[in-house]
Structure 1
Amino acid sequence: MSAQIAEGMAYIEKKNYIHRDLRAANILVNETLHCKIADFGLARIIETEYTAHEGAKFPIKWTAPEAINYGSFTIKSDVWSFGILLTEIISYGRTPYPGMTNPEVIRSLEKGYRMQRLDSCPTELYEIMKECWKNKPEDRPTFDYLQSVLEDFYTATESQYQQQP
Structure 2
Amino acid sequence: RLQEYLAQKRFIHGDLAARNVLVGDGLVVKISDFGLSSDIYHRGYMRENVGRKIPLKWVSPERIYGGGRCTIKSDVWSFGVLLYELVTLGGVPYPGMTMRQIMDKLKNGYRMERPDDCSILLYDVMKRCWKWKPVERPSFSDLFNEFDSILNFDADY
TM-score bin (small chain): over 0.9
Match of 1:67 in 2: 63
Aligned residues: 154
TM-score, structure 1 as length reference: 0.89
Report whether the alignment pairs 1:134 with 2:128. Answer: no
Q: C-alpha displacement at 1:27, in angstroms?
A: 0.5
User: What secondary structure sits across from 1:117 in the alignment?
Assistant: coil
**Residue 97 of structure 2 aligns to which amino acid in structure 1?**
M
User: In 2, distance between residues paired with 1:158 and 1:36?
Assistant: 24
Structure 2 counterpart of 1:52, from 48, 51, 54: 48
User: In 2, distance between residues paired with 1:105 and 1:44?
Assistant: 26
**Residue 64 of structure 1 aligns to which amino acid in structure 2?**
S
Question: Between the two proteins, what is the percent identity of the paired residues?
Answer: 44
1:52-110 CA-to-partner distances (Å, cap 9, x unmatched) read 12222110000001101220100000000000000000000111001111111111101
**Which shifted more, 104-113 or 72-81?**
104-113
**Residue 26 of structure 2 aligns to which amino acid in structure 1?**
T
1:99-142 CA-to-partner distances (Å, cap 9, x unmatched) read 11111111110111000101200000000001100110011010
1:4-37 CA-to-partner distances (Å, cap 9, x unmatched) read xxx1101111111101100000011125332111
**Residue 39 of structure 1 aligns to which amino acid in structure 2?**
D
Q: 1:143 to 1:42 in 2, by over 3 A?
A: same
Q: 1:28 to 1:158 in 2, by over 3 A?
A: farther
User: In 2, distance between residues paired with 1:34 and 1:8?
Assistant: 11
Unaligned runs of 5+ in 1: 1-6, 161-165
Kindly report which structure 2 residues correspond to 1:1-165, keeping only aligned pairs within 5 A, or say none. Answer: 7-46=1-40, 47=42, 48-69=44-65, 70-158=67-155
TM-score, structure 2 as length reference: 0.93
User: In 1, distance between residues paired with 2:47 and 2:153?
Assistant: 40
**Residue 154 of structure 1 aligns to which amino acid in structure 2?**
L
Q: RMSD of the alignment, in Å?
A: 1.4
Q: Which runs of 4+ in 1 moved over 4 A?
A: none
